[in-house]
Chain A
Amino acid sequence: MSGFAPTRRALLKAFVSGAGLVSFHILLPKSALGAAPSASEPGVEVTAWVVIEPNDIVRLRIPQAELGQGIETALSQIIADELELEWGKFKTEFYDPQINRTRNNVYVHTAVLNSWGVDMLFEPMRRAGAQIRHMLLEAASTKLGVPVDQLEVSDNRIVERAGTRSIGFGAIAVEAAKLPIPDANTVRLKPKERWRYIGKPLGRLDVKDKVTGKTVYGIDVQLPGMVYAAVRQSPVFGGRLISYDEKTISGRPGVLKVVPIRGGPSGYTTPPSLWDIIDFEMDDAVAVVADSWWTAQKALDDLPIHWADGPNGSVSSSTINDAFLEAIKSPGRIVRQEGDTAQALKTASKVIEADYHFPYVQHAPMEPMNCTALVNENGVEAWGGSQYADEALRIAAYAAGVALKDAKFHLTYVGGAFGRRLSQDYVSQAVQVARAIRGTPVKLIWTREETTRRSYYPPVALTRFTGGIDEKKRVTAWKAQAVFGSAPFQPYGLSRMPFSVPNVEFQYIGIETPPPFGWMRGVAHTQATWMNIGFMSELAELAGVPTLDFHLSMLNEDAVPKTRPDHDDAVARIRRQRKLLLELVQRAGGRERRGKGLGRGFGITDMSYIPGYHSSCIAAAVDVALDGKGWLRIERVTVVVDVGLAVNPQNVEAQVEGGAIYALTNALYGKLTLKNGRIEQGNFDEYPMLRLAEAPDIAVHIMPATGTPSGIGEEGCPAVVAAVVDAVHAAGGPRIRRLPIKDNNLGFRKA
């Protein structure tokens, strides 16, 4: 299957690894491998994508985890359209990673990352739906004795176009499943004029269960004879377990066992075919098993545990800050260079320099980490949420010490994740405990404090900007030197800024910091977009020009040198960003707000990682009010978004609303600190979240559809952080160079 999606994957791979272009194959099924569904739910598998039940109801396999992003509904819309299903006359089930493993990645893209779910699966799932539709038509043709061209598909049935005969999917599924699968490259797709579901603001499929408490998340899995485990990891990153005093708690009612957990692999956080193979590993831990989780946790709290802190035991936020300031004295790896920045700074009429800081933050999903596991003579079975169930399966097998074929991972609904569940440490822990109590299922649950303190963290970052303007108030030089804590090489958020500046230089320095790296909603752009726009605003002030006017003047396609290898891409990005900013100004109610203490700020991002990157573009305006005593109120957020084609517009709006709130929480409050190698904050009292009273009104405008869908899970975050920072200054507040905003002598009022 060449010709779709892989282009970008290949580019990314080449970009990240520095290797040349690699061509990729996306495989759609070539033959029907008939794995029988469980006897309790009768049906016939027709390709890996669906199971057809005798009553014509179709079970759709969703090759992504549902973390709240609405993917279950959006992907159902895509395949149901090609399959001509009646809306509601289908069920969904999460994919089985064992099927994906044994059938050569038949589900194409199963990791939940980079807002790629709909983007990556839009074409494969349409093609899969079309393949199945053709197979059903063939089978019906044989059964009814009517040529295929006189049949059509309608609401889970095959209907004779000019006649009265029809037959349900259920009556032909067995025959259809035996037919050869049409070539995915040439299978005929529905013309978009006939789409019934794609592009419609349909209601979420999961909403009824979610308002009645019926949805089963990982933490809700119940198995006969199940016991419970509480877990504590080394409080210091990289610390080792030395010993624990089991006597202290043994014999307590309900307490069954204490199990040491070995540190080690926690799974690749991205598909190895796509990116560098990265496993950020996990540390040693101790689990207490009991007949209730509360009993287990209470015993664990009383269990004396001796850890060896290791070299990170002396690391604190202040030592990390010192290391950053030391590192920035040396030149970094040059990531982007155009013109002669040093010379341009010498000849500039005015020059400014500013340091921007981003702290440690954490995903804080509402559902604490957890996993349920059973190890017995058949192998291992695990149940839970994961953003990468393929890896959860692999880690479960590894931790159980069984062959991959003897492992099962049952993907459940996920109570938020935001990148956290791309590491499978909690799966390994649960399986290690299950291995120590073979034959008994165990549910392992973390406390909120453990969830905060033992996460995988986006890096702390410091950027030193130097910029110069000439007498005509044009930016002639832009230099940025960035230092990032432990992370894969990720300069793109900073270096891909779209401003047209003749002399540009980006340097990147990565230094090792103890907390292990984790992907988080808004990857690298969350750190960088507000910095770039903030410094641009400082240059605007230096030039004496209103920020938004200055911003637009820096999006000047004529100033992009024709010699730039990515000239066309740079121009396209500039045009798109100008268009969205101008639309946003209209929708937000103008370029500025008049009145003392009122401010409107603007942010924009396309989250472009590399030239030619297929992504959404989102522009956000944030209105704030600031009183003389430093109390800040977030009043309103206005967003304009170009997602290519919105498969489900109401869901796009929900993602933007949620992304805005997520961004405001991080911008206003988000900060974790280290002391003696330990994260100091634990629960929501120490790591506060935005609440309803502080939530502003949010208006979302989706630009008319063009092309194919691009992602929307993450994009709202970087743009809104940038906009709120800009708004604080516009309201007469301080220039924010260090997040969170609360660390700038500001407090927050309810909206």
Chain B
Amino acid sequence: MRVNLRVNGDPVTLDAEPEMPLLWALREKLGMCGTKFGCGIGLCGACMVHLNGAPVPSCKVRLADVEGQEVTTIEGLSADGSHPLQKAWVDLNVPQCGYCQSGMIMAAAALLKVKKKPTVAEIDQSITNICRCGTYVRIRKAILQAAQS
């Protein structure tokens, strides 16, 4: 099946099974590996992307359902790492292993779209991604810092 969509603003045509999760199409068909595989059941958030601006775990999105849609991945969040969240992340040295951080940043970016100045409670409620290195404390600070900029 051929699926047409836009990824980070570019039109893309994918020839793959309609049931294939978007995650694997991004990673294997498009070679965009910034989006990570963590759990495969939409629980950990490592594969978070924006679908028409809203955060979704790409391991739970079928290719068949993204025809004509707009997908944004970590590679497309900014051209050069200049998104306020990315800058705050660098400033506070948030990542450790870094594996969950693409998903974390995409989740945080989606939050800032709907809440320009989120409270700590709102951050806690909306960022449910898992980080095993335990960078949560710095993530909270980095989102608050980015929201100030």
Shortest Cβ distance from residue A440 to the other chain B in the assembled complex, whole angstroms: 15
Q: Sorted from nearest, which 8 A-B pairs have the closest CB atoms?
A: A213-B34, A661-B134, A415-B99, A68-B97, A210-B98, A68-B96, A213-B74, A695-B136
Q: Mark out the residues of chain B between 127 and 141 whose CB falls within 8 Å of any chain A CB in the assembled complex.
A: 127-140
CB-CB under 8 A for A685 and B138, given A207-B93, A222-B33:
no
In the complex, A67→B96 CA distance in Å?
8
A733 at the interface (CB under 8 A from B): no
- Check B73 against A448 for contact (C-beta < 8 Å): no
CB-CB under 8 A for A657 and B138, given A684-B44, A691-B128:
yes
- Check A366 against B131 for contact (C-beta < 8 Å): yes
Interface SS, B side = loop
Shortest Cβ distance from residue A245 to the other chain B in the assembled complex, whole angstroms: 23
In the complex, A415→B46 CA distance in Å?
11
Q: Which residues of B contact A210 (CB under 8 A)?
A: 95, 98, 101
A244 at the interface (CB under 8 A from B): no
Contact with A along B87-107 (1 / 0, CB 8 A): 001100111111111100100
In the complex, A295→B63 CA distance in Å?
14
Q: Which residues of B contact A68 (CB under 8 A)?
A: 95-98, 133
- Check A416 against B99 for contact (C-beta < 8 Å): yes
In the complex, A208→B82 CA distance in Å?
10
In the complex, A213→B20 CA distance in Å?
22
In the complex, A271→B84 CA distance in Å?
44
What residues make up the interface of B, taking CB atoms closer than 8 Å to A?
16-17, 20-21, 24, 27-29, 31-41, 43-44, 46, 73-75, 77-78, 81, 85-86, 89-90, 93-102, 105, 123-125, 127-140
CB-CB under 8 A for A367 and B99, given A216-B33, A415-B36, A662-B134:
yes
Shortest Cβ distance from residue B144 to the other chain A in the assembled complex, whole angstroms: 13
Q: Which residues of A contact B46 (CB under 8 A)?
A: 366
Determine which residue in B28, B34, B37, B127 has the highest number of CB atoms from chain A within 10 A of its CB, and name it: B37
Shortest Cβ distance from residue B134 to the other chain A in the assembled complex, whole angstroms: 3
- Check B41 against A685 for contact (C-beta < 8 Å): yes
5 further interface pairs, Cβ-Cβ under 8 Å (given A220-B33, A295-B17): A204-B93, A228-B28, A365-B97, A651-B93, A691-B128
- Check B96 against A658 for contact (C-beta < 8 Å): yes
Which residue of A220, A447, A651 contacts B40 across the interface (Cβ within 8 Å)?
Answer: A447
CB-CB under 8 A for A661 and B136, given A222-B31, A294-B20, A366-B100:
yes
A413 at the interface (CB under 8 A from B): yes
Q: Specify the chain B residue showing the minimal Cβ separation from A368.
A: B37
In the complex, A524→B136 CA distance in Å?
26
Shortest Cβ distance from residue A371 to the other chain B in the assembled complex, whole angstroms: 14
- Check B41 against A219 for contact (C-beta < 8 Å): no
Q: Which residues of A contact B73 (CB under 8 A)?
A: 213
What residues make up the interface of A, taking CB atoms closer than 8 Å to B?
66-70, 203-204, 206-217, 219-220, 222, 228, 253-254, 292-295, 364-368, 413-418, 445, 447-448, 650-651, 654, 657-662, 665, 683-685, 689-693, 695, 697-698, 750-751
Which residue of A212, A215, A365, A448 contacts B81 across the interface (Cβ within 8 Å)?
Answer: A212
- Check B44 against A366 for contact (C-beta < 8 Å): yes
Shortest Cβ distance from residue B3 to the other chain A in the assembled complex, whole angstroms: 14
In the complex, A203→B92 CA distance in Å?
8
Q: Which residues of B contact A216 (CB under 8 A)?
A: 33
Q: Specify the chain B residue showing the minimal Cβ separation from A202.
A: B93
Q: Specify the chain B residue showing the minimal Cβ separation from A206.
A: B98
Q: Which residues of A contact B86 (CB under 8 A)?
A: 211-212
In the complex, A511→B130 CA distance in Å?
35
- Check A695 against B134 for contact (C-beta < 8 Å): yes
Q: Which residues of B contact A209 (CB under 8 A)?
A: 98
Shortest Cβ distance from residue B139 to the other chain A in the assembled complex, whole angstroms: 6
Q: Specify the chain B residue showing the minimal Cβ separation from A212.
A: B81
Interface SS, A side = loop
CB-CB under 8 A for A693 and B128, given A207-B90, A217-B99, A416-B97:
yes
Shortest Cβ distance from residue A275 to the other chain B in the assembled complex, whole angstroms: 25
Q: Specify the chain B residue showing the minimal Cβ separation from A648.
A: B93
In the complex, A207→B135 CA distance in Å?
13
- Check B38 against A448 for contact (C-beta < 8 Å): yes
Q: Specify the chain B residue showing the minimal Cβ separation from A689.
A: B130
CB-CB under 8 A for A414 and B135, given A208-B90, A220-B33, A692-B123:
no
CB-CB under 8 A for A69 and B96, given A222-B33, A692-B139:
yes
- Check B97 against A415 for contact (C-beta < 8 Å): yes
CB-CB under 8 A for A413 and B33, given A213-B73, A366-B44, A658-B135:
no
- Check B132 against A365 for contact (C-beta < 8 Å): yes
In the complex, A405→B75 CA distance in Å?
38
Which residue of B33, B35, B128 contacts A692 across the interface (Cβ within 8 Å)?
Answer: B128
Shortest Cβ distance from residue A66 to the other chain B in the assembled complex, whole angstroms: 8
Q: Which residues of A contact B125 (CB under 8 A)?
A: 693
CB-CB under 8 A for A293 and B24, given A219-B37, A415-B36, A695-B136:
yes
In the complex, A366→B89 CA distance in Å?
19
- Check B37 against A445 for contact (C-beta < 8 Å): yes
In the complex, A364→B89 CA distance in Å?
24
Q: Which residues of B contact A698 (CB under 8 A)?
A: 137
Shortest Cβ distance from residue B15 to the other chain A in the assembled complex, whole angstroms: 11
Q: Specify the chain B residue showing the minimal Cβ separation from A216.
A: B33
CB-CB under 8 A for A657 and B134, given A207-B90, A365-B97:
yes
Q: Which residues of A contact B101 (CB under 8 A)?
A: 210-211
21 residue pairs from A and B, CB less than 8 Å apart: A210-B98, A211-B98, A211-B105, A212-B74, A212-B77, A213-B33, A217-B99, A220-B27, A253-B17, A294-B21, A366-B44, A366-B100, A367-B97, A658-B133, A658-B134, A658-B135, A691-B128, A692-B128, A692-B136, A693-B124, A698-B137
Q: Specify the chain B residue showing the minimal Cβ separation from A222.
A: B31
Shortest Cβ distance from residue A278 to the other chain B in the assembled complex, whole angstroms: 25
Shortest Cβ distance from residue B42 to the other chain A in the assembled complex, whole angstroms: 10
Q: Specify the chain B residue showing the minimal Cβ separation from A661.
A: B134
Q: Which residues of A contact B129 (CB under 8 A)?
A: 691-692
Q: Which residues of A contact B41 (CB under 8 A)?
A: 448, 683-685
- Check A684 against B124 for contact (C-beta < 8 Å): no
- Check B132 against A364 for contact (C-beta < 8 Å): yes
Shortest Cβ distance from residue A212 to the other chain B in the assembled complex, whole angstroms: 5
In the complex, A210→B139 CA distance in Å?
14
Q: Specify the chain A residue showing the minimal Cβ separation from B74.
A: A213
- Check B74 against A689 for contact (C-beta < 8 Å): no
Q: Specify the chain A residue showing the minimal Cβ separation from B101.
A: A210
Shortest Cβ distance from residue A232 to the other chain B in the assembled complex, whole angstroms: 14
Q: Which residues of B contact A203 (CB under 8 A)?
A: 90, 93
